[in-house]
Amino acid sequence: MFCRSLFLVAIALADLAFSATIEIVAQAAYDKPEPLEFAPNEVTAAVGDVLEFHFAGPGTGVLGSNHSVAQGVFENPCNPAPNGFFSGYMAVNATSTEANMVFRVPVKSTDPIVFYCTQGQHCTRGMYGVVNGAGDKTLQSYRRSITVNRNAVAPTTIGGGEMVSNEISRILPAETPGAAGSTKVSLALIFVGLGLALLIAQ
């Protein structure tokens, strides 16, 4: 019975090992021509992965920041998707480099997703991004569809993800560019192998 329980734990850990946490930062990079951005603004994610949105502050003691992230629709830029995710506004004071909370969104499909900041004209000024862009639903097509500067529309309710302490998120497994796939598979095989060994030993 004990070994069977350990086997189930190993399988659960293997499932975690196959998933990745993809960090995306909402920031104002004032050294760039278009300073308002999500970095990166194009990502590829698998089902089971987690999009983890961080909200950066200037850390200069001059101006604070107040960004958000909402799921949008490609056909109507800077407007929310029905039943999409929304973090609400994440204020960061002028002396902080990042908000003390992050917004984690589970990936449930490999279909293209667009997200944007709902603050003022941040979206029309370049603060948006795309997950699993394909066909006519890409970052470039979304950019072309924005023809005028206007205020973004925010969803009426917060949801579709969870708020987690920034400190806690730092100890969760994160994706390492160029190595995430092999690392995830290796860890998964270790956990599955351990679970099978325990089950056989029962």
CATH number at residue 58: 2.60.40.420
Yes or no: say if 21 and 52 are a contact pair by the CB < 8 Å rule.
yes
Q: What whole-number distance in Å separates Cα of residue 40 and Cα of residue 11?
A: 32
CA 18 to chain centre: 17
Q: Are residues 191 and 114 in the same domain?
A: no
Q: Are residues 40 and 131 in the same domain?
A: yes
Q: What whole-number distance in Å separates Cα of residue 114 and Cα of residue 170?
A: 25
Three-state DSSP state, 5: helix
pLDDT of the residue at 34: 73
Which residues contact residue 125 at a Cβ distance below 8 angstroms, ignoring those fewer than 6 apart?
34, 36, 149
Return per-residue pLDDT of the chain as tens, 202 residues.
544 544 444 444 445 457 899 999 999 876 677 789 999 999 999 999 999 999 998 765 556 689 999 999 999 999 999 999 999 999 998 788 899 999 999 999 999 999 999 999 999 999 999 999 999 999 999 999 999 899 999 999 999 999 999 886 655 555 444 334 433 444 444 444 444 444 455 5
Q: Are residues 150 and 92 in the same domain?
A: yes
Q: Are residues 100 and 190 in the same domain?
A: no
pLDDT of the residue at 168: 67
Q: Are residues 117 and 29 in the same domain?
A: yes
| Segments forming the whole domain that contains residue 60 | 21-172
Which residues contact residue 169 at a Cβ distance below 8 angstroms, ignoring those fewer than 6 apart?
21, 52, 102, 104
Position 21, amino acid: T
- Give the count of domains, the chain: 2
pLDDT of the residue at 87: 98
Q: Are residues 108 and 13 in the same domain?
A: no
Q: Are residues 84 and 2 in the same domain?
A: no
pLDDT of the residue at 67: 95
Q: Locate tokens 């066909």: which residue?
A: 135
pLDDT in tens, 155-183: 999 999 999 998 866 555 554 443 344 33
Q: Are residues 53 and 78 in the same domain?
A: yes
pLDDT of the residue at 176: 40
Yes or no: say if 146 and 77 are a contact pair by the CB < 8 Å rule.
yes
pLDDT of the residue at 17: 53
Residue 69 Cα distances to 4, 19, 37, 99, 194, angstroms = 42, 22, 11, 13, 40
Q: Are residues 186 and 143 in the same domain?
A: no
pLDDT of the residue at 152: 98
Q: Are residues 102 and 113 in the same domain?
A: yes
pLDDT of the residue at 60: 57
pLDDT of the residue at 42: 98
Pair of tokens at residue 113:
């997703």
